[in-house]
Structure 1
Amino acid sequence: MNLDLPDKPYDRCGVAGCLAPQGVNASAVAIEMGKALQHRGQNGGGIAVKPQGQILRVYKEARAFNEIFSSTEIVDQNSLKGEITIAHLRYPTEGSRRRDCDAQPFHASHQGWEVALGHNGNVVDLKKHRRKLAKFGIRLESDSDSEILAWLIVTAPGFTWRQKIAQSLCDVKGAFSLVMVTGDDKLIALRDPWGVRPLVWSQDNGHAFVASETCALDRINIPHSQKIEAGQMLIADSTGVTIAQYLMPQKRSFCVFEKLYFSHETSIWDGVIGQNRESLGSQLANEEYARIKSQKIRRETIEAIDYVVAVPDTANPGAYAFYESLANKLSPKLKFRYKRGLVKERYDHAKRSFIEDDPYLRKKDVEKKFFISPSLIGKSIYLIDDTAVRLTTFSILVAHLLKIGVKTIHCRFLAPRFVNPCFLGVNIGSRDELGAVTKDKHGNYKTLSEDQIKRKLNVSSLHYLTLGGMARSLNMTQEEMHSSHCTGCLDYNNPFDMRPYDPEYPKTPYAKFQKVNLPEVIQPKLTAQLV
């Protein structure tokens, strides 16, 4: 069990940007927006600032954004004030966690074209793009795909930013929601043609704003926003804001886990995120009720349950909706109640930068993540979590609950099982990391059944929300969900053919049975041609 790997999926980044009228400082606004996106990245952060008529400045560190900018000291000492500012928060992949050079924004300058760039997502076809840059003799300072994107843009042919961006990104495979500030005083924001990661914008009182989520706009009291759609680019400068299609949109593939887990519950994307999570809980209750009626789980087992307990914090809305919906469906004689039995430790645990080397201390570190109410001792509980990718933290939590005297645990998850890595911006690099996946004696990957996972965790019962249930919670059929969302981590429904970038694919069930949803192959078309 690798306790160094987090049990939850983490989206790698959050981005924000602000353009203010002449003479007005945008950095304070962008920093406030960045602080509202802290849930998207805790291991690196920075800003890029462009005062009108002056040089572009970048400041970044490999620590949490709200720690870097906890006061105005860094801004004042480094002259980080100007009319255009972008902010970036980073959650990195394994192996590059604490290096300042991997923090963003990245700066690139070539033949008079200058940009600082922040990126949310991940590029899968990096080798060919590295070869392109080698022709220019460019020496990269990091291993980041984001730095490559910055250099691709400034070295691309074109007479305008729109032309250069279209030319540079038309053959890039991956997820990229980008914010940029340019040397000629422009704020630029764009999404990839599949629309994998979110990006919104707004304007007010001469300002233009862009951010990964609407919660960043809420932080600065901007109530109205619009999506930047797949393949669209926003350019804002002193003359105003323009939005245009720079690449034709491809198969719509918004990451389903943005709605299920990554985004803040107060953010809006096709509805309020928190309400989406409540719908997951209600649908999980529907499936639980069907299991009771079909006697897959005995009614007397349910009657013995005392509490419904959420694993905080992101599971809270769904867990309460599960409780409320199931209680309404069953007899009022049932005694179980919703209980805030686990409380997340917010201070000592949150301030730790590194997990201890000693396995015993690492285990204790996980146990200290939650305060457990003594009222759970001797009780039977539903334990509701949104998802547990690796089952590391979750298995330690279950063992600890049983150790202190919880009588029985019935695990329910508000999402289907993770059975594939994510190549598009989430920290899941291999099926070997996944708690619901195992290997047979030939090294082929197999998905564990719910009963096998139940025994693995030593719990009394276990159920994951089905794919169909997840679709219904989003008010869609499964087919509609597949045509509008990326669910690659759950069933290999990806924006484009991911097999060339998945070295484990030959050992998966998809290769054996050809059970893979391949999108229609459409060549990205430029909408900003050179003249």
Structure 2
Amino acid sequence: MFDEVKSLNEECGIFGVWGAKDANYLTYLGLHSLQHRGQEGAGIVANDGQKLRAYRNLGLLTQVFSKPEYLNSLLGNSAIGHVRYSTAGENKIENVQPLLFDFTDSQLALAHNGNLTNADTLKKELEKDGHIFKSSSDSEVLVHLIKQSQKSTFHEQIVEALNKIQGGFAYLLLTKNELIVALDSHGFRPVSIGKLKTGGYVVASETCALDAVGATFYRDVKPGELITINDKGVKIDHWTTKTQLAICSMEYVYFARPDSNILGINVHSARKRMGAILAKEFPAPGDIVVGVPNSSLSAASGYAEASGLPYEMGLIKNQYMGREFIQPTQELREKSVRQKLAAVKGVVSGKRVILVDDSIVRGTTCAYIVQMLKEAGALEVHLRIASPRFMHPCFYGIDIQEKSELIAAHKSVEEMNQIFGSDSLQFLSEKGLISAIGLKADAPYSGLDMSYFNGDYPTYLYDYESKK
């Protein structure tokens, strides 16, 4: 989704290992495969059976672990790791995960993907009881609730704590004795478990990270599950049985890597179907189909196949431009777009171009891409978006929590078409998106969270209720 520059960002990616030699390096490799889910900070906590050790810092994974000793010091046969993009809490070192807690009788490390909708209320209550938070993120709330519990066992304390929090969460908890996985009652964020050839287990936000460490897929974590992994194997429990699947539809549209499978559905294949259905719903008078690199290429190929038009590489992305290119002014952003992306004149000149993008959120630079193609000689540019109009904020782990940020919430399709300078503009229907993903779930919207498009939130929003 290049036309957004700094736009839609996932909160993070989580990865865990139990029972494997060189758990620190496996975690590093797993996190590297999840780097697209967060680029602001990274960290790893390793467990040697006696002590948990952590290293974390701001930046990309390779920047955080720039010296061998940073990773080499994290010894043990189990570990958890995290790559972060902040949706709740500032971008500072205190919020980089995993969070490591040292108690008088134990240690506990936590990694969290998602966003709690009642964190502010819980924080205020906990602070009144004397709890002191060392970060401004919502992830720390769970640990304070666990320590507050009067239940007799650690697992009972976790269950009680999980039943007090609301919103989207996938948690990894690491102790000296076990790795614990917990998923919210709607399964907003994907989590999968893999098995290593050596007998150990890995847990990851996406299956592409399982592939990266040579693990075979074992199972997906399901809503409401509380899974314990230790030297005895995998034990599956539930912290609640009141569940209803509502996995984030934007995982399929944009966030996940194309080579990942989410609940048994390949992301690339789902995106191709989105493009194919879009072509049937909204054909355009074009000569070639061009996708916006990189997340829209699958949908563009699907559109081309369904429409019988050639799929061409009309836009080239500079792969060596990092997040540093994000600029503070619109003029500088426009120049940055031209450095990040280039039109291939020999491909688009004299052609009617059907430009396929996966989504439009803020729409801040879409006009410049259309303009770029026309300056390169495109006769017409017909913009086709492989998802419905993004009109409502997300509160379960994406950095869009204000309706004012969303162009489709304030502009009609025709108004956006005029703003972008495109010759036509159309969006995939909600029905088309649901059909393309193809989840077979006995739940609203076939088990997908479609609230971005229709405002029908699967849960009460608590602290965010006034913002929807």
TM range (shorter): over 0.9
Q: Which residue of 2 aligns with 1:311?
A: 292
Contact 1:40 1:91 in 2 (8 A): yes
Supply the distance in 2 between the matched residues of 1:395 and 1:154 (Cα, whole angstroms). Answer: 52
Q: Which residue of 2 aligns with 1:429?
A: 401
Q: Which residue of 2 aligns with 1:390?
A: 362
- Give the C-alpha shift of residue 246 in structure 1: 1.8
Supply the distance in 1 between the matched residues of 2:450 and 2:108 (Cα, whole angstroms). Answer: 33
User: Larger Cα Rg: Structure 1 or Structure 2?
Assistant: 1
**Percent of aligned pairs with the same amino acid:** 30
Contact 1:113 1:154 in 2 (8 A): no
State the AA in 1 paired with 2:137: S
Contact 1:87 1:105 in 2 (8 A): yes
- Give the C-alpha shift of residue 358 in structure 1: 4.5
State the AA in 2 paired with 1:342: L
Contact 1:20 1:84 in 2 (8 A): yes
Aligned pair count reads 464
Q: Which residue of 2 aligns with 1:90?
A: 84
State the AA in 2 paired with 1:13: C
- Give the C-alpha shift of residue 109 in structure 1: 4.0
State the AA in 1 paired with 2:403: R
Supply the distance in 2 between the matched residues of 1:391 and 1:478 (Cα, whole angstroms). Answer: 32
Q: Which residue of 2 aligns with 1:511?
A: none
2:277 aligned residue (283, 298, 302): 283
Task: Map residues 264-275 of structure 1 onto 2, 5 A cutoff.
Answer: 264-269=257-262, 270-275=264-269
State the AA in 2 paired with 1:388: I
Contact 2:277 2:432 in 1 (8 A): yes
Task: Map residues 38-437 of structure 1 onto 2, 5 A cutoff.
Answer: 38-53=35-50, 55-69=51-65, 72-76=68-72, 79-93=73-87, 96-97=90-91, 99-110=92-103, 112-182=105-175, 184-204=176-196, 205-269=198-262, 270-289=264-283, 302=285, 305-327=286-308, 336-347=309-320, 349-350=321-322, 352-353=323-324, 355-375=326-346, 376-437=348-409
Task: Map residues 505-520 of structure 1 onto 2, 5 A cutoff.
Answer: 505=468
Task: Map residues 439-518 of structure 1 onto 2, 5 A cutoff.
Answer: 448-475=411-438, 482=445, 484-498=447-461, 501-505=464-468
Task: Write out per-residue CA displacement over residues 283-329 of structure 1, whole angstroms, 9 at most, x where no aligned residue.
Answer: 1111124xxxxxxx7xxxx1xx22111001111111111111111xx
State the AA in 2 paired with 1:252: L
Contact 1:421 1:489 in 2 (8 A): yes
2:24 aligned residue (20, 23, 27): 27
User: Under a length normalisation based on structure 2, what TM-score does the superposition of the two structures give?
Assistant: 0.93
RMSD, aligned CA: 2.3
Supply the distance in 2 between the matched residues of 1:12 and 1:175 (Cα, whole angstroms). Answer: 11
Change (3 A) 1:174 1:26: same
Contact 1:18 1:207 in 2 (8 A): yes
Where structure 1 has 5 or more consecutive residues not aligned to the other structure, the ranges are 290-296, 328-335, 439-447, 506-531
Change (3 A) 1:476 1:120: closer
Contact 1:214 1:225 in 2 (8 A): no
- Give the C-alpha shift of residue 45 in structure 1: 0.7
- Give the C-alpha shift of residue 380 in structure 1: 1.7
User: Under a length normalisation based on structure 1, what TM-score does the superposition of the two structures give?
Assistant: 0.82
Supply the distance in 2 between the matched residues of 1:37 and 1:218 (Cα, whole angstroms). Answer: 12
- Give the C-alpha shift of residue 152 in structure 1: 2.1
- 1:18 maps to 2:10: no
Contact 1:8 1:388 in 2 (8 A): no
Task: Write out per-residue CA displacement over residues 125-167 of structure 1, whole angstroms, 9 at most, x where no aligned residue.
Answer: 1123113422453322221001222322233232323211111
Task: Write out per-residue CA displacement over residues 443-493 of structure 1, whole angstroms, 9 at most, x where no aligned residue.
Answer: xxxxx3322211121111010001111122133699955251111111122
Change (3 A) 1:95 1:123: closer
Change (3 A) 1:314 1:147: same
Change (3 A) 1:477 1:186: closer
- Give the C-alpha shift of residue 113 in structure 1: 4.5
State the AA in 2 paired with 1:195: G
- Give the C-alpha shift of residue 394 in structure 1: 1.8
Task: Write out per-residue CA displacement over residues 242-292 of structure 1, whole angstroms, 9 at most, x where no aligned residue.
Answer: 111122242221111111211111111232111111110111111124xxx
- Give the C-alpha shift of residue 400 in structure 1: 2.6
